[in-house]
Amino acid sequence: MKYFIYALITIATVLLIYNATHLEIDNLLIGDSKTALIGILASACVIILLLILLMSRRIQQKNTKR
């Protein structure tokens, strides 16, 4: 499961970088730039949630060892 989470984090990072290349700084909320901005925010949320999951699993493992 640990490697699956790392794979998902990697995929989300790649998507974040891909969407960042489609941003137009002058017109952030128009056309494809709006879609790219939504994709960047979604990818960032996924990365944060998966990192929280990893940390909670580590804490759970430490508590079960006691």
**Does residue 66 register a pLDDT over 90?**
no
Q: Using one digit for the tens of pLDDT, what is the confidence trace for 2-59?
A: 899 999 999 999 999 999 999 988 888 888 899 999 999 999 999 999 999 999 999 9
Residue 16 included in any domain: yes
Residue 14 included in any domain: yes
Residue 47 included in any domain: yes
Residue 66 included in any domain: no
pLDDT at position 28:
84
The tokens describing 4, both together, are 């699956």
Q: How many domains does the chain have?
A: 1
Give DSSP secondary structure letters for 13-62.
HHHHHHHHHT--SS-TTSTHHHHHHHHHHHHHHHHHHHHHHHHHHHHHHH
Residue 21 included in any domain: yes
Residue 9 included in any domain: yes
Residue 56 included in any domain: yes
Could you tell me if 52 and 35 are in contact, meaning their C-beta atoms sit under 8 angstroms apart?
Answer: no
The tokens describing 48, both together, are 């944060």
Residue 38 included in any domain: yes
pLDDT at position 35:
93
